[in-house]
């Protein structure tokens, strides 16, 4: 329950009136859900272990259970009913080999606290059905791992915190497709593409050579496959890309200079030989100023660059350049990489190159 207590009202006349009024609102509970369903064969005991999470963050459940139904060809026969509770649930099922079963997980819930007198029904139900089979030969296959950027560029080099797209080929004898995968100990959803499946991995926070190891693949029906070969891809994690944002450049034609301001982020200290370059529209460099990391205040550079040529031009190209090396060992320096650039229209002005009066002396009021 949330209560809103109104104590004062302001009138258009400028007066205020003290009141005492309370409005109550019932914030509905989150509906329960079934998550992380797994079905694993226990070879030693010839049983099927089924586990899942019945999420119920706000204690909305009123009843829940799991029915084990055997498919007899023409109908379903209930062979077992299990009591299900909120949180993790694990069940050991004694099933007949090669028989098809359906697990029917159902729950009823009430999202209402029932503290208001308003006659509204916020109860509901959920139902999840999973087909399982003991000792099925899935003929599972997995391989041909490759990595690429979010833009589809195939590479083995990624910057820190840059997402990695991991593509794989996988198949099995059933109609169940891969649903999720465990990669380097973390669970990721698996998405289907025209040529197989892919997983979008979180960016890596440490530089250097890193292994991407796919440990498990879980099918839609909860079947788990543990991978032991053809499941590793190696990538190189480079330093984080430097970034210039909100670049500002303004000409001061009167004083023959430019006002320059920009924030520069270089978390991994990849830059050296930093410069601000200014070129005329014709390509001639008319301004150049070096700056160091210490010249930035709270990560922002703000200052002026004097022009060496103030002759007329239509526009200027202002660039922030630096030597940049994202490699761990400093072996791949890119000289004078353009971090940001901005074209600035020159301020309108006229330069008088020559002039002559029609005559040196004139009478008063004459032209």
pLDDT at 293 over 80: yes
pTM for the structure as a whole: 0.70
Query: What pLDDT, on the 0 to 100 scale, is given for residue 195?
Result: 82
Confidence band of 349 (pLDDT split at 50, 70, 90)? confident
Query: What pLDDT, on the 0 to 100 scale, is given for residue 62?
Result: 95
Confidence band of 151 (pLDDT split at 50, 70, 90)? very high
Three-state SS string across the chain, please? CEEEEEEEEECCCCCEEEEEEEEEECCCCCCCEEEEEEEEEECCCCEEEEEEEEECCCCCEEEEEEEEEEECCCCEEEEEEEECCCEEEEEEECCCECCEEEEEEEEEEECCCCCCCCCCCCEEEEEEEEEEEECCCCCCEEEEEEEECCCCCECCEEECCCCEEEEEEEECCCCCCEEEEEECCEEEECEEECCEEEEEECCCCCCEEEEEEEEEEEECCCEEEECCCCCEEEEEEECCCCEECCCEEEEECCCCEEEEEEEEECCCCCEEEEEEEEEECCCCEEEEEECCHHHCECCEEEEEEECCCCCCCCEEEEEEEEEEECCCCCCCEEEEEEEEEEEEECCCCCCCCCCCCCCCCCCCCCC
pLDDT tens-digit readout, 230-265:
999 999 999 988 999 889 999 999 999 999 999 999
How far is residue 165's CA from residue 202's CA, in Å, rounded to a whole number?
Answer: 9
Share of the chain above pLDDT 70, in %: 100
Query: What pLDDT, on the 0 to 100 scale, is given for residue 135?
Result: 82
pLDDT tens-digit readout, 157-173:
999 999 999 999 999 98
Cβ 132 vs Cβ 224: under 8 Å:
no
Mean pLDDT, residues 10-29 taken together: 94
Query: What pLDDT, on the 0 to 100 scale, is given for residue 353?
Result: 86
Mean pLDDT, residues 302-312 taken together: 94
Show the domains of the chain with their CATH numbers: 33-133 (2.60.40), 141-238 (2.60.40.10), 243-345 (2.60.40.2060)
What token pair was written down for 8? 């004062």
Query: What pLDDT, on the 0 to 100 scale, is given for residue 227?
Result: 95
pLDDT tens-digit readout, 33-82:
999 999 998 877 778 999 999 999 999 999 999 999 999 878 889 999 99
Q: Mean pLDDT, the chain, as a whole number?
A: 93
């Amino acid at each position: 329950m949330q209560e809103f207590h109104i104590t004062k009202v302001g009138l258009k006349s400028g007066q205020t009136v003290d009141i005492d009024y309370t409005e109550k609102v019932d914030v509905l509970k989150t509906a329960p859900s079934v998550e992380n369903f797994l079905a694993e064969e226990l070879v030693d005991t010839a049983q099927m272990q089924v586990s899942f999470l019945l999420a119920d963050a706000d204690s909305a459940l009123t009843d829940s259970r799991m029915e084990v139904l055997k498919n007899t060809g023409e109908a379903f026969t209930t062979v077992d009913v299990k009591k299900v509770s909120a949180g993790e649930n694990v069940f050991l099922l004694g099933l007949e080999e090669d028989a098809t079963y359906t697990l029917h997980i159902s729950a009823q819930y009430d999202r209402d606290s029932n503290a208001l007198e308003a006659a509204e029904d916020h109860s509901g139900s959920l139902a999840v059905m999973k087909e399982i089979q003991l000792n099925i030969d899935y003929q599972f296959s997995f391989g041909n791992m490759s990595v690429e950027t979010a833009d589809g560029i195939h590479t083995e080099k990624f910057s820190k915190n840059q997402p990695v797209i991991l593509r794989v080929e996988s198949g099995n004898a059933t109609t169940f497709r891969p649903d999720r995968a465990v990669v380097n100990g973390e669970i990721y959803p698996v998405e289907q593409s025209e040529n197989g499946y892919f997983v979008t991995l979180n960016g890596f926070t440490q530089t250097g050579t890193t292994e991407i190891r796919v440990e498990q693949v879980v099918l839609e029906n909860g079947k788990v496959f543990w991978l032991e070969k053809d499941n590793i891809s190696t990538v190189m994690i480079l330093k984080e890309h430097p970034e210039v944002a909100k670049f500002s450049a303004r000409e001061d034609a009167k004083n023959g200079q430019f006002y320059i301001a920009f924030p520069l982020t270089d978390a991994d200290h990849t830059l050296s030989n930093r410069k601000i370059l200014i070129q005329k529209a014709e390509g001639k460099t008319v301004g150049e100023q070096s700056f160091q990391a210490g010249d930035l205040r709270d990560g922002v550079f703000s200052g002026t660059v004097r022009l060496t040529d103030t002759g007329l031009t239509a526009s200027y190209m202002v660039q922030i350049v630096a030597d940049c090396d994202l490699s761990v060992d400093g072996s791949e320096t890119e000289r004078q990489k353009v971090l940001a650039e901005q074209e600035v229209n020159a301020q309108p002005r006229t330069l008088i190159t020559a002039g002559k009066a029609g005559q040196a002396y004139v009478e008063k009021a004459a032209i």
